[in-house]
Amino acid sequence: MTTESTTNNANQEISAEQLADEIVQQAEEQVEEQHDHAQEVISEEQERINELELALATAQSTVSDQKDSVIRAKAEVDNIRRRAAQDVEKARKFALEKFAGEMLTTVDNLERALQSIDKEDESKKGVIEGIELTLQGLIASLEKFGVKAVDPQDQPFNPEFHQAMSMQEVPDVAPNTVIAVMQKGYELNGRLVRPAMVMVSKAAPSVDTSA
């Protein structure tokens, strides 16, 4: 390999590492923005809770004939607290859902690029290593925030997580088994972001032996 080729490969690797760093930085910035938004939601709900608690304290100081108002105010405070806690949990858990969905397109493109490159060609070695580093960095960043791949090869077909694109008879394979994954699916903290696109085995047609 010539000095010029080595230099180009090094530049490609550096560029790929920079791209991985930029993608990771974008993901972290998006999480920070969503975190700030969640804090704003918390503040608004807390203000409402404070107002209702003040109303509750005032109601409790009144005469006994306002007992029903006190009970209703307390119940409303409890309900708002519960809803606020649920909203914050959802914001934390699924803040990355939209951003993760966009990043999956990049993951798909990098995986297709690796599949299309001739790995036996020494001149492409630097390019392959650069793409692999970028892909690994992106996947690691997604996993850090709860994004996991759904890759059901040879598993039973599950319509909740898989989308059947076609069916095919395959000898010695049980019906409704995933025989090929055309595109991996992904889930975020247990919630499906994108189903896996798969090919599924089907049973052979029954043979009429009555004739």
- Residue 208 inside a domain? The answer is no
- Residue 211 inside a domain? The answer is no
Instruction: Give yes or no: residues 160 and 88 share one domain.
Output: no
- Residue 55 inside a domain? The answer is yes
Instruction: Give yes or no: residues 32 and 101 share one domain.
Output: yes
Instruction: Choose the final residue of a domain: 145, 165, 183.
Output: 145
Instruction: Give yes or no: residues 104 and 23 share one domain.
Output: yes
Residue 4 CB neighbour total at 10 angstroms:
8
Contact in structure between 142 and 153 (CB atoms under 8 Å): no
Instruction: Choose the final residue of a domain: 145, 168, 183.
Output: 145
Instruction: Give yes or no: residues 106 and 49 share one domain.
Output: yes
Collapse the DSSP code of 149 into the 3-class scheme (helix H, G, I; strand E, B; otherwise coil) and give the result. strand
- Residue 53 inside a domain? The answer is yes
Instruction: Give yes or no: residues 94 and 132 share one domain.
Output: yes
- Residue 209 inside a domain? The answer is no
Closest of 138, 131, 128, 137 to residue 102, by C-alpha: 138
Instruction: Give yes or no: residues 37 and 101 share one domain.
Output: yes
Instruction: Give yes or no: residues 24 and 72 share one domain.
Output: yes
What does pTM read for this prediction?
0.51
Instruction: Choose the final residue of a domain: 98, 122, 145.
Output: 145
In the structure, what pLDDT confidence band is assigned to residue 73 with cuts at 50, 70 and 90? confident
* Pairing verdict, β 185-188 and 196-202: unpaired
Instruction: Give yes or no: residues 136 and 167 share one domain.
Output: no
In this predicted model, what pLDDT tens digit does every residue of 176-208 receive, in sequence order?
999 999 888 999 888 888 899 999 998 877 655
- Residue 210 inside a domain? The answer is no
- CATH number of the structural domain spanning residue 170: 2.30.22.10
Instruction: Give yes or no: residues 52 and 107 share one domain.
Output: yes
Alpha helices in 61-96 (DSSP H): 67-94
Rounded to whole angstroms, the Cα distance separating 41 from 87 reads 8
Query: Range of 105's domain?
Result: 3-145
Q: How far is CA 177 from CA 150, 153, 180, 182, in A?
A: 15, 8, 9, 14
Number of domains in the chain: 2
Instruction: Give yes or no: residues 138 and 156 share one domain.
Output: no
Instruction: Give yes or no: residues 180 and 127 share one domain.
Output: no
Q: What is the DSSP string of 152-199?
A: -TTSBP-TTTEEEEEEEE-TTS-TTBEEEEEE-EEEETTEEEEPEEEE
Rounded to whole angstroms, the Cα distance separating 162 from 179 reads 12
Rounded to whole angstroms, the Cα distance separating 162 from 149 reads 12
Instruction: Give yes or no: residues 167 and 128 share one domain.
Output: no
Q: How far is CA 120 from CA 125, 134, 151, in A?
A: 8, 20, 27
Task: Please name the residues in contact with 87: beta carbons below 8 A apart, sequence gap of 6 or more.
Answer: 41, 45
- The average confidence (pLDDT) of the chain is 79
- Residue 207 inside a domain? The answer is no
Tokens of 27: 């993901």
Return the top range by mean pLDDT from 70-74, 89-93, 153-157.
Answer: 153-157
In the structure, what pLDDT confidence band is assigned to residue 6 with cuts at 50, 70 and 90? low
Percent of the chain at pLDDT > 90 equals 10
In this predicted model, what pLDDT tens digit does every residue of 78-97 receive, in sequence order?
888 888 888 887 776 677 77
